[in-house]
Chains A and B, each alone.
Chain A
Amino acid sequence: MSYVGFDVDKIRGLAREMRKAGVTAGPLHRDLAKVLADAEAALGGVAPTTSQPLLDAMRGGPAKGLPGVLATSLPGEAGEIDRRCDRISPPNGGFPPGTVVDPMVVFDRAEPDEGKVNQALDLIKGLNGKDFGTNGNRDDVREVAKRLEELTPAELDLLLSKLDDADLKRFGALISDTGDHWYNPFDANGLPEGERRDLLSHLLERSGPGSWPKLAADLPGVQPGFDTTDVFLDGVNSQSGVSTSGLHYGVPNVPLFADGGVQASEVAQGTLGDCWYIASLKATAAADPKFIQDGIRQNANGTISVRVWDKDGNLHWVTMTPDLPLDSGGNIAFARSVSNGTTTESWPAYYEKAFALLYGDDDGGAPDGKDGDSRYDRKEHGDYGAVEWDFTDKAPPYVTGNDADGIDLDYDDVKKAFDSGHPVIVSSHSNMDGVPDHLKKAYVTRHVFYVKGFQNGKMVLGNPWGPGSPDLVVTPDEFKRMFDDPQKLTVGK
């Protein structure tokens, strides 16, 4: 037996076992589906037999989920194992003991082209101390970006494993700085925001999980920071479940979607002051849940991509690592879906994370009242601090792809917009003046609400705080006295 870093015979044995398991997966799926069908018949449709998404997928039709899909995937993977084992133990006797086999050769579907990898590596290293000429460095970093985008996933991982942190950081700094040099107004530097975002998304979508920490550490814009958010700077909330001192990145313990897809009513603002964004997200999800559902996907390597329009109206799929800011208890700290008091889904958190990465209209401190405090009062971009406290009309273009239209503060005008399918959001006042006593418990000053509907001649307004917060039900006159600046959103291009 040839020894090449691991026991090939045992690996081949694993492939044999996988094939065997694949043979039993189909009948097992059918048996389980029959049990479910029998249970459903016995219940007579009075109640669902299960709320488990995995089991739910078994109801009728072809096997789309576990365990049925294993009938085809396990033999396929076994074939891949055998093919790779053939590479390192060919029929003519294999490699001599002690041979070092590059994992990239063994574990990727196509062998990486080391020539391509080395060329890209040399280009990145060559940026060190390079004279970029009078036209700036944009053409140089663009050439590097193009080479990176041409690499296969295996080649990209191989390159990242070989690349020094200092070289990757230099590249990250160069693509991020688009400023002109004072002595040369005609130079073009860095990659424009949209181009840079698309490059980062491309790298994340194609690289393996082992490369993500390096990308996050060395390339600005891969992972949005949270250390300038009010909630993190406070760090004093010791109340059960709201501690911020333990805020950290981690993979959430809830799925992207649980049951039933996008439910606007379940979207809950977290401990981030971004009601102005969450209100737009909830309003759009309520008006067109499919639009929001279609705007997020999980990629084969585990990254998540969310559709966001940038400040110039250009569409991007912002790809992110699957980790999110979690509180000290391991729960999602910011936006998420909540049902029956429990966090159930993570999709709103990824929408919020993508927005934090791409939002480009933060003007600094205003209106957060922290003028002069450099921790709070600064123009931010690419982190969660950038999306705290801003104006009502700024979020909709990022969510829908279209600017919001201000409409008259008039009940009938708002109803007309809502009835014609437009999401509508509206600001509250900065004080309680004009708020009748019976509505004061549900009213929140300096906040953004969204229109949920109309009933018995009254308007129903939802709070972006989500489940657990009361709706406001107001007459036309109360609406006029209590709110300001209604915005009509238009979904999609």
Chain B
Amino acid sequence: MDRWRLRRGIPYRMEHQGEALLVGINDLTPDRVTFTVNVDGVPRDTFALGVGETARIAGRPYTVVAIDADGPGFADLEARA
């Protein structure tokens, strides 16, 4: 199972169906991660998720499995089949 540590302050670039995506965290609180999927510099989808909630990124569903809001902080996502 793919696991993705999404760190605050770090841009994640990927390509999907010919589009350049940039995923980045907007904000982290102890129980919620807010992040945006930008396409060619334009915000397309913004998700505000708690642990156990799922978002679809680049055609794949990802579930938030952990959030750490200390310091830089991060959210761990797991890709669902």
Indicate if the CB atoms of B2 and A239 lie closer than 8 Å: yes
Indicate if the CB atoms of B24 and A444 lie closer than 8 Å: yes
**Bound Cα distance A447, B25 (Å):** 11
The answer to the question of B9 belonging to the interface, with a C-beta cut-off of 8 Å to chain A, is yes
The answer to the question of A89 belonging to the interface, with a C-beta cut-off of 8 Å to chain B, is no
Indicate if the CB atoms of A340 and B20 lie closer than 8 Å: yes
The one of B12, B24, B29, B71 that contacts A367, using a Cβ cutoff of 8 Å? B71
The answer to the question of B22 belonging to the interface, with a C-beta cut-off of 8 Å to chain A, is yes
The answer to the question of A173 belonging to the interface, with a C-beta cut-off of 8 Å to chain B, is no
Q: Which residues does chain A contribute within 8 Å of B71, judged by CB atoms?
A: 367-370, 389
Indicate if the CB atoms of A241 and B70 lie closer than 8 Å: no
Q: Which residues does chain B contribute within 8 Å of A246, judged by CB atoms?
A: none
**Bound Cα distance A388, B72 (Å):** 10
Indicate if the CB atoms of B14 and A240 lie closer than 8 Å: yes
Q: Which residue of B lies closest to A430 (CB)?
A: B27
CB interface residues, B 40-58, toward A, < 8 Å: 40-43, 46, 58
Q: Which residue of A lies closest to B39 (CB)?
A: A468
With contacts A239-B2, A239-B14, A443-B26 known, is A273 near B38, CB below 8 A?
no
Indicate if the CB atoms of B26 and A444 lie closer than 8 Å: yes
Indicate if the CB atoms of B9 and A470 lie closer than 8 Å: no
Q: Which residues does chain A contribute within 8 Å of B40, judged by CB atoms?
A: 468
Q: How far is the CB of A408 from chain B (nearest CB, A)?
A: 26
The answer to the question of A467 belonging to the interface, with a C-beta cut-off of 8 Å to chain B, is yes
**Bound Cα distance A237, B5 (Å):** 6
Indicate if the CB atoms of A465 and B24 lie closer than 8 Å: yes
Q: Which residue of B lies closest to A331 (CB)?
A: B13
The one of A231, A431, A440 that contacts B10, using a Cβ cutoff of 8 Å? A231
Indicate if the CB atoms of B38 and A469 lie closer than 8 Å: yes
**Bound Cα distance A467, B21 (Å):** 10
The one of A231, A242, A442, A466 that contacts B14, using a Cβ cutoff of 8 Å? A242
Q: Mark B1-38, 1 if CB is under 8 A from A, else 0.
A: 01111011111111100001110111111000010101
Which residues of B line the A interface, CB within 8 A?
2-5, 7-15, 20-22, 24-29, 34, 36, 38, 40-43, 46, 58, 70-74, 76, 79
Q: 11 A-B contacts, Cβ less than 8 Å apart?
A: A231-B7, A236-B4, A238-B2, A269-B10, A338-B13, A440-B34, A443-B27, A444-B26, A447-B9, A468-B13, A469-B11
Given known contacts A239-B2, A443-B26, A468-B11, what 18 new A-B pairs fall within 8 Å (CB)?
A236-B3, A236-B4, A238-B3, A238-B4, A242-B4, A271-B12, A368-B71, A370-B71, A442-B43, A443-B27, A444-B8, A445-B8, A446-B8, A446-B9, A468-B22, A468-B38, A469-B38, A469-B41
